[in-house]
Structure 1
Amino acid sequence: MPPGFLLVTAEPGAKVSLEEFQDWYNNEHVPLRLNHLPSFLTGARFSASDSLAPSWLAVYDIDDTATFQHESYTRLRANRSPREANLVQRLELLDRRTYEFIADSGESSLTSSYNPANPTKFLITHWLNIPGEDAAFRTWSEEAFRSLKGVEGWVRTRTYNCIDNLKTGTSIVPSDPQAQIVPKYLAVHEVLTSAVAESPAFGEASNPGSIAQIEEIRTWNLYRAYPSVAQGNIQTS
């Protein structure tokens, strides 16, 4: 199976303080995954730089999409601690989306992406739809990579196909199917400064031929890149 990617956006809301949210994420939620599951290759969190909600983003590189169905991972949600179960119920939004890898422009010497050693400081996320099947999106991805190489401040782009998603939270009406609809495709752009997102060169290069329907564009600042068992840079008990 192809490599996987997990992307989660969250908004604490009025019922969860930022201090409580950060403590849970940093000291319980992330360690349960990165400290114990070798399938989680990297993990990083970002805060919104565009003043939009949701205001928090977490991203994880996964070795195989089969991980999303493996008991070692699914039990983490099925057997949440009382603390986590209570907090998740109070969040304004928790939007979890799993993806399979489509294409990668290639690693860069400028950053280590989501590895704690020189992590990427800024991300631009493009959620989009495109006419045709996955093959059309792969072609679009390759054309975008060629165009983006000429954009100053661009580092790396990876593209993905959404295979599952679930939104929960106090702002979501569970019975409303429209609330669960998300764009099929995702492009994650790593850049050196948040200003890259505003440049005409990036805008043109990130949608070659203007054939993609861009559903949402967000910009993010690095909050923290985490060590992991897979990287061999944490001590395990």
Structure 2
Amino acid sequence: MAPGFLLVTSEPGPDVTLDEFQDWYNNEHVPLRLEHLPSFLAGARFRAADALAPTWLAVYDIDDTAAFAHESYTRLRASRSAREAALVGRLALLDRRTYVLRGDSGEGATSSYAAGGGGGGKAPTPVVLTQWTDTAPGDPSAWKEKGASGWVRTRTYECIDSLRSGRSVAPGPEAQRIPRYLVVHELCDLMAAEDPALKATSAQSEESRLWALYRAYPSIAQRNPSVTEA
């Protein structure tokens, strides 16, 4: 079993209102996955904390990468509601990337994104720093020794599939090129991203983004009905 990770960045754009976008994501898109698929262990949405675009990030921990090819998941896109199909067609950006876990610093037995508390009953991670690179990242357990202020957990991933769509995406293969590896640092607050060790790795990445928690969602896997909002 190889744990998986689903990361989606998105931008409503001029043809979708923010209220429409949020209602769809919160009340249709996320619940169809987290409230019905046991393979989706936890999920959360984050908002850009660095004034860059895209503005929105959604992340999901998956128990096994095989779930990405299972009919219970693939049918969600193949049999979209008329509402979802129409809205997705108007988005400026929907950038979907699936990953396999390559390394974990070992903080927590379950995802820190879980609604109502992650590993060890902790609250959902309030801040994440994402870094993309074509160079294989080092052992994430080394972050325990670095002593970065405000650091919680680091996981590394390798991309296994991706698709960028939306009205702002240019045609052609170049628009689909993404870095091979992803590093996700979970942090206790925004100031933690200013730690010299984290800033150094951000400078070495092809792209580095800082995100603040918008909402962690309940999931059937966590059996937790609460929803936490920042």
Q: Normalised by the size of structure 2, how large is the TM-score? A: 0.90
Q: What are the superposed Cα offsets for residues 65-114 of structure 1, whole Å, 9 maximum, x if unpaired? A: 001101000000011000000000000000000000001001249x9610
3-state SS in 2 of match to 1:203 = helix
Contact kept? 2:93, 2:167, Cα under 8 Å: yes
Moved beyond 3 Å, runs of 4+:
none
**Which residue of the partner structure matches residue 200 of structure 1?**
196
**Which residue of the partner structure matches residue 27 of structure 2?**
27
3-state SS in 1 of match to 2:67 = helix
**Which residue of the partner structure matches residue 120 of structure 2?**
none
What amino acid maps onto 2:114 in structure 1? Answer: N
- The match for 1:121 among 89, 102, 126 is 126
Tell me how far apart the structure 2 counterparts of residues 143 and 221 of structure 1 sit (CA, whole Å). Answer: 23
Deviation at 1:145, TM superposition (A): 2.6
What amino acid maps onto 2:81 in structure 1? Answer: S
**Which residue of the partner structure matches residue 141 of structure 1?**
139
**Which residue of the partner structure matches residue 167 of structure 1?**
164
- The match for 1:224 among 212, 215, 222 is 215
Tell me how far apart the structure 2 counterparts of residues 123 and 182 of structure 1 sit (CA, whole Å). Answer: 19
What amino acid maps onto 2:150 in structure 1? Answer: G
Report 1:1-237 matches (<5 A): 1-108=1-108, 113-116=112-115, 117=117, 118-130=123-135, 137=136, 140-142=138-140, 144-148=142-146, 150-174=147-171, 176-204=172-200, 206=201, 213-234=204-225
Tell me how far apart the structure 2 counterparts of residues 223 and 102 of structure 1 sit (CA, whole Å). Answer: 26
Count of aligned positions: 220
Deviation at 1:146, TM superposition (A): 4.5
Deviation at 1:143, TM superposition (A): 6.5
Contact kept? 1:35, 1:234, Cα under 8 Å: no
Tell me how far apart the structure 1 counterparts of residues 140 and 24 of structure 2 sit (CA, whole Å). Answer: 38
Q: What are the superposed Cα offsets for residues 145-176 of structure 1, whole Å, 9 maximum, x if unpaired? A: 3454x1110000000000000000001133x1
What amino acid maps onto 1:169 in structure 2? Answer: G
Q: Provide the alpha-carbon RMSD of the alignment.
A: 2.0
Contact kept? 2:140, 2:154, Cα under 8 Å: no
Change (3 A) 1:63 1:124: same
Moved more, 213-222 or 42-51: 213-222
Tell me how far apart the structure 1 counterparts of residues 5 and 197 of structure 2 sit (CA, whole Å). Answer: 27
Tell me how far apart the structure 1 counterparts of residues 210 and 105 of structure 2 sit (CA, whole Å). Answer: 19
Contact kept? 2:127, 2:188, Cα under 8 Å: yes
Change (3 A) 1:102 1:193: same
Deviation at 1:201, TM superposition (A): 3.2
Q: What are the superposed Cα offsets for residues 164-211 of structure 1, whole Å, 9 maximum, x if unpaired? A: 00000001133x10000000000000011112222323224x47xx9x
Give unmatched runs, 5+ long, in structure 2. 118-122
Give unmatched runs, 5+ long, in structure 1. 131-136
